């Protein structure tokens, strides 16, 4: 089939490339010619395992191409995916201007039947607005009635891709959600989408067809549920520390219940990225606009913001609220492993907090260093003096030399089994703050480390006891 994908961001590139790999002819459009030029040269703007090789392979076969020409791109696809950004506005609502611009262009240029697919995460009811926008353009073009107006159908096909495993998620979906109108054009669209996704349904049916608004709602509901599980476990982890429980044991105990399961039950420094924060906010905005505030989601967001400060508070407590002149080594900057995405990353909150309190920070990340530099440049625009105490390195071990503590914020594979003997020899003191519970407290204690995770403390007094005993053997900072 001939497919046009509007937008070459995270969702657009993955969608277009994977559909091409399934044997379709795909043209990916973007208004940014410079970005198109970079992609055609192999300079892919996002980091996603396996994506570069997939793009290269399908460009060589001719199934995948890129363009900044709107007219030819609209004409090309029988199915047009709108996969542009919908970032959060200041009030929490989704910014849908790019979606509407795409819809307007489709209506202004289409000459035959099109299935217009909302792949972007959009507010509930957005398909109706897209349809109205296209209708308005078509009515203007064909108002004299001398030629017949082409028909179209707008459907919702939300994405459920996880950063770091998006290619595999697309190629092996657990579900395909289609929101389709129950009319003649909707029936035609349904058959075309079933044909497009037929390769995924050979073993068993993975497609769920529903009305359009239900499909739009499903995307928000899925991310809201996952975010809720994360915040729920983070709150329990904080309580576990107070009462002397181990949150990982609790996780295993409740996860074994099939009604609960193990997914998204890991405590840590809070969720980030491009989806959960903005989708939770957008769903709350929709609820408030309809006079039905979602109290649970309000708490989820509040807990998540609070959780991003937990490690900073642990560090401050250990050093008697005086971080002036201390140096901290940080492993992991991206909000999760296998991505360079720094959007809403907990590392940004923690690092700014440490720097504001007078500390120095040197950080490592296997992939996200350049993205992190850009992110902190924005964060420190009003406080340039902070940036002078932040540095980066591409060597994880080098940054430990003389540091007062190691802070782990992203669970990259290369951090999971490090040389602890070397770590201990490099650090000023054997002190680790683990924001992802990557290590076992008992094992760390046996190796002579003072170790502080999230909800993993054996008893409420362990950290203070360790603090007192370690200071007897630690030279004064003076």
Catalytically annotated residues: 275
CA angle 169, 31, 6 (to 5 degrees): 35
Residues 6+ positions from 215 with CB-CB distance below 8 Å: 155, 156, 157, 158, 177, 178, 179
Report the C-alpha gap between 138 and 297 in whole angstroms: 40
SS3 451: strand
DSSP E strand boundaries for 397-456: 405-408, 431-434, 450-452
The three-state secondary structure class of 76 is: helix
Q: Quick one: tokens of 255? A: 């996860």
Distance of CA 325 to the CA centre of its chain: 34
Q: Whole-angstrom Cα distance, residue 164 to residue 337? A: 7
SS (H, E, C) 4-40: EEECCCHHHHHHHHHHHHCCCEEEEECCCHHHHHHHH
Q: Closest Cα to residue 77, out of 26, 130, 16?
A: 26
Angle, CA 87 vertex, CA 84 and CA 93 arms, to 5°: 120
Please state, in angstroms and rounded to a whole number, the distance separating the CA atoms of residues 159 and 168: 13
Paired tokens of 291: 């006079």
- Which tokens belong to 54? 């997939």
Question: 64: which strand partners?
Answer: 26
Could you list the beta-strand ranges (E) of 162-276: 176-179, 207-210
Whose tokens are 């994405």? That residue is 159
By C-alpha distance, which of 425, 463, 421 is closest to 441? 463
- Taking phi over 0 as left and psi of -120 to 50 as alpha, with beta for the rest, 42 belongs to left
Residue 464 tokens, joined? 């203070």
Pick the closest to residue 429 from 477, 386, 395 (CA basis): 477
């Amino acid at each position: 089939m001939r497919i046009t994908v509007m937008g070459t961001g995270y969702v657009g590139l993955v969608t277009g490339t994977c559909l091409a790999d399934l044997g379709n002819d795909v043209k990916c459009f973007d208004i940014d010619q410079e970005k198109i030029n970079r992609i055609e040269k192999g300079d892919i703007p996002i980091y996603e395992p396996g994506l570069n090789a997939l793009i290269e392979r399908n460009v060589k076969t001719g199934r995948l191409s890129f363009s900044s020409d709107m007219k030819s791109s609209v004409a090309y696809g029988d199915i047009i995916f709108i996969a542009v950004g919908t970032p959060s506005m200041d009030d929490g609502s989704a910014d849908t201007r790019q979606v509407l611009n795409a819809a307007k262009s489709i209506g202004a240029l289409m000459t035959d039947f099109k299935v217009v697919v909302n792949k972007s995460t959009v507010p509930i009811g957005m398909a109706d607005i897209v349809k109205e926008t296209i209708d308005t353009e078509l009515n203007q073009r064909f108002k004299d009635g001398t030629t017949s107006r082409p028909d179209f159908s707008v459907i919702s096909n939300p994405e459920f891709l996880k950063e770091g495993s998006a290619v595999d998620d697309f190629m092996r979906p657990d579900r395909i959600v289609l929101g389709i109108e129950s009319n003649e054009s909707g029936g035609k669209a349904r058959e075309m989408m079933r044909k497009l996704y037929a390769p995924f349904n050979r073993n068993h049916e993975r497609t769920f067809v529903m009305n359009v608004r239900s499909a739009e709602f499903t995307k928000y509901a899925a991310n809201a549920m996952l975010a809720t599980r994360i915040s729920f476990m983070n709150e329990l982890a904080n309580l576990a520390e107070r009462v002397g429980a181990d949150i990982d044991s609790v996780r295993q105990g409740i996860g074994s219940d099939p009604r609960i399961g193990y997914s998204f039950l890991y405590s840590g420094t809070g969720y980030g990225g491009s989806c959960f924060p903005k989708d939770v906010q957008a769903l709350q905005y929709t609820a408030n606009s309809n006079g039905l505030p979602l109290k649970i989601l309000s708490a989820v967001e509040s807990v998540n913001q609070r959780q991003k400060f937990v490690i900073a508070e642990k560090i401050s407590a250990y050093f008697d609220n005086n971080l002036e002149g201390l140096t901290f080594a940080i492993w992991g900057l991206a909000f999760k492993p296998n991505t360079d995405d720094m959007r809403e990353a907990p590392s940004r909150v923690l690092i700014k907090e440490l720097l504001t309190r007078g500390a120095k920070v040197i950080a490592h990340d296997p992939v996200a260093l350049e993205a992190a530099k850009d992110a902190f440049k924005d964060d420190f625009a009003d406080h340039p003096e902070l940036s002078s105490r932040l540095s980066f390195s591409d060597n994880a071990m080098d940054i430990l030399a003389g540091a007062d503590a190691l802070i782990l914020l992203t669970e990259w594979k290369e951090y999971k089994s490090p040389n602890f003997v070397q770590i201990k020899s490099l650090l000023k003191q054997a002190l680790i703050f683990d924001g992802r519970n990557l290590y076992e407290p008992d094992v760390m204690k046996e190796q002579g480390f003072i170790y502080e995770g999230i909800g993993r403390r054996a008893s409420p007094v362990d950290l203070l006891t360790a603090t007192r005993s370690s200071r007897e053997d630690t030279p004064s900072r003076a």
